[in-house]
Each structure stands twice: as structure tokens, then as C-alpha cells.
Amino acid sequence: MADEISVLIVDDSALMRNLIGKMVETTPGLAIADKAMNGRFALDKIPRVNPDVIVLDLEMPEMNGIEFLRERKKQGIEIPVIILSSIAAKGAAITMEALSLGASDFIQKPSGSISEDIHTVRDNLVGLLQSYGSQYRRTHGKKIAPAGEAKPAESTSKGAVTIASILELNTAHSTSPSKPPTQLRKPAKTEVVAIGISTGGPDALRVVFSKLDTDLNVPIVVVQHMPAGFTNEFAKSLDRICPLDVKEAEDGDPLVPGRILIAQGNKHLEVGRKGSAVVARLSDAPLVSGHRPSADVLFASVALTFQNHALGVIMTGMGRDGAAQLGTIYKEGGLTLGQDEASAVVYGMPRVAYELGHVQEQVPLEKMARRICDIAKTNR
């Protein structure tokens, strides 16, 4: 079907190309554009097959994934790339290099470069292909196949992401926001910025952090949904492009003006007072809103600790994590921003927050850094 999201599969293993291809073929709204055994063949095929999204292995002969990304960047190719590689499990630094070169997201192959159990990451992979592929089609004026018009999919696990759910998240809504909660006090000077973000986050945070003012004198705390073992390298990669210091949060880290703390993968991040200081607290508490770290957990602690001195920001992401407790920041007298629909890879988390009445202002990604800085520098 012409309106399906077309996927280019790049992997040196014929078995992997076949298994990934079957996932694509059996998912409504997805179609195989072509397959390639390395980056060189992929570059040759892109002008002919014009895919909407690319699945890329990193370890390949002749032209590996990193080399492909460098050449893609040099040629100005904007097609989103999802890394699916065993190297992601053992080389966080290489994975972050891939993201810095323009890859949109990554998934670990479950058991090595040839993973016959690749079906275990099917739902995650399909969700990312649908998210990034649909956004690419929308921004390039292409139609997207309506849910239900594509071929039936094989049964998937409970809670699997479907093309219908992605379309729901990325389609304009007429729903008016609910009445916002009554604020207990008026907003005061911003003393902390808390950000919750998920699918589409690595790219979005690069855009925002690279544009922050060098004299932004408030601490920033961030929950980005990401597996354990990757957030330290992710923080380092952001630190290289951000005028402020960026580091992975450690238990007991003080919140320092002009420093950004990134939540560890698989650890909740909260903030709390310790004497006259405010410090980060990490925990292994159960998942909240389906996640650990959870933006809801962070936002709740920020509201409790800073009350009307907080700025809460919810950005691109699937699901509803952070939407409820962003309202607590608002209720305590803090200010809240949400990424707008047009610039979000998945208008899920910010949409739910907006419809709950918890977002005071919707902001395009390109203007988010400016709004954060302007609000944080304004005395109220």
C-alpha cells in the first residue's frame, strides 16, 4: 500500500534481515522498502526505494553502521534511523556515538549479532518504526495508511504498540483540556527545572540542551526513559554539546545551579532536602506509570520540595508517564510547559498532560530552550 510506512532493513545477517522483515510484513501499516547487507548497499538503495525509516545494525563488513551514519549526515539524508545491534549491549559509548551522528533511537539485540529470539523485542521495535516513520511521513507531506486498512498482524503480547495507537497519538485532537487544578499559591522565582521525556527524547534533548543559555543559573533534573547502562554515556554525550554541565545522577548529588542531572536507567530519581541543600535520591522502588525511572516520581518530589519555585516540562513520549504529577507541580504554584503536537515524535505524554489541564503552555521543540531560559530568569 502506498500509504504504508516503508522500512529499509540493514543487517549483514540474512537470517536477521529475514526475521526483522517478517516483523515488518506482519504489522499493519508497515511495509518493507528493501533490505541491504551493509551501509554501502543501503546508501545505494535509498534514492531508489525512498524509505520512511531505517533499521540499522552497527557491526557490518565494508561499511558499518557508524560509517553509514557519517555518510548519511554528509549527504544530508534525513530519514530516521533505529539502531538494532548487539553492540548496543556491550558498547554504550558506540551507541551514543551513533545517536550523536543522527540515529534516532536504539534497541539491543537480545542475544548477540544473530539473535534467533529477536521476536522478544518485536513490540519495542515496531513501536519505534511506527513512531519515527509516521512522523517522517507527516513532516514530508505523505499520507499514512488509516488503521485497519493494512493486512492483519500476528498476535502480539498484551500491551503491544499498534499502528492504531501510534496514529491516535500523532493525529490532531479536538479534545479541549480539562479545567486546570486550582493553584495553592502564586508562581515564584524558578529554582529548579524538571523534564520528563521518552520516545524521541535523545534527539529532542540534544536540540534543547545545545540551545540553553550559558548563564542559566538553576539546576535541571531529567527523566529520559532509557535502559540501565546507557545513561552515563548519554549524559556525557549531552555534556559535549551543552553549555551547562551534564552528568548522570548519583545518589546524594546536590542540585547545583547550572548543572543538569540525568536519571539513571532502571533507577527512580527524586529530589529532597538534606539540611540546607537539595539532593538527588535514587531508588529501586517498583515501576510507576510503567517505568523506572518515572517522570511521575520525579515531578511529585519536585512539587513537594520546591512548591511554587518549580518549572515542569513534559516532552515527546509514548504513554502517560509524568502527565498526572505535572499537575501536582501546577497545583503547588509551579509553572508547566508541554511540547506541542507538531514537533513531537510521539504526542502521547504531552497530549495526556494537556488534556488533563496540566500544561499551561505548549511549545515547539525549537523554541523550548528559549522558553525554559526566559521563565527561569524571570523574577515573579
pLDDT at site 148: 39
Q: Higher pLDDT residue, 3 or 249?
A: 249
pLDDT at site 158: 33
Please tell me the chain's helix, strand, coil percentages from 3-state DSSP, rounded to the nearest 5: 35, 20, 45
- 3-state class of 102 per DSSP? coil
pLDDT at site 168: 47
pLDDT at site 112: 64
pLDDT at site 379: 75
CA 115 to CA 96: how far, in whole Å? 22
Condensed to tens digits (0 to 9), the pLDDT of residues 32-90 reads 999 999 999 999 999 999 999 999 999 999 999 999 999 999 999 999 999 998 875 56
- 3-state class of 251 per DSSP? coil
Q: Which residue has the cell 507541580?
A: 329
Q: How far apart are the first and last CA of the chain?
A: 55
Q: Interhelix angle for 122-139 vs 14-25, to 10°?
A: 70
pLDDT at site 88: 58
Residues sharing a CB contact under 8 Å with residue 169, sequence separation 6 or more, in sequence order: 318, 346, 347, 348, 351
pLDDT at site 86: 82
Is the Cβ–Cβ distance between 82 and 103 less than 8 Å?
A: yes
C-alpha cell at 157: 503480547
Over 60: is that where the pLDDT of 15 sits? yes
pLDDT category of residue 210 using cuts at 50, 70 and 90: very high
Over 50: is that where the pLDDT of 230 sits? yes
pLDDT category of residue 94 using cuts at 50, 70 and 90: very high
C-alpha cell at 357: 489541564
Over 50: is that where the pLDDT of 163 sits? no
Q: Which residues pair with 105 in a beta bridge?
A: 82
Instruction: Average the pLDDT over 123-147 and give the result.
Output: 87
Q: What is the DSSP letter of 287?
A: P
pLDDT at site 167: 42
Instruction: Output the CA angle 191-196-201, nearest 5 degrees.
Output: 125
CA 51 to CA 202: how far, in whole Å? 22
Q: Higher pLDDT residue, 189 or 169?
A: 189
Report percent pLDDT > 90 for the chain: 79
Instruction: Average the pLDDT over 257-262 and give the result.
Output: 97
Q: Higher pLDDT residue, 93 or 35?
A: 35
pLDDT category of residue 147 using cuts at 50, 70 and 90: very low
- Cα dihedral 207, 213, 218, 224, rounded to 10, equals 10
Q: Which domains does the chain have, with CATH numbers?
A: 5-169 (3.40.50.2300), 192-376 (3.40.50.180)
pLDDT at site 98: 94
pLDDT category of residue 175 using cuts at 50, 70 and 90: low
pLDDT at site 116: 75
Instruction: Average the pLDDT over 228-253 and give the result.
Output: 96
pLDDT category of residue 162 using cuts at 50, 70 and 90: very low
Query: Which of the residues are catalytic?
Result: 198, 225, 321
pLDDT at site 91: 76
C-alpha cell at 90: 556491550
- DSSP letter for each residue of 33-59: EEEESSHHHHHHHHHHH--SEEEE-S-
* Backbone Cα Rg of the chain: 21
- Whole-model pTM: value is 0.88
Q: Which residue has the cell 522500512?
A: 7
Counting every residue written for the chain, the total comes to: 380
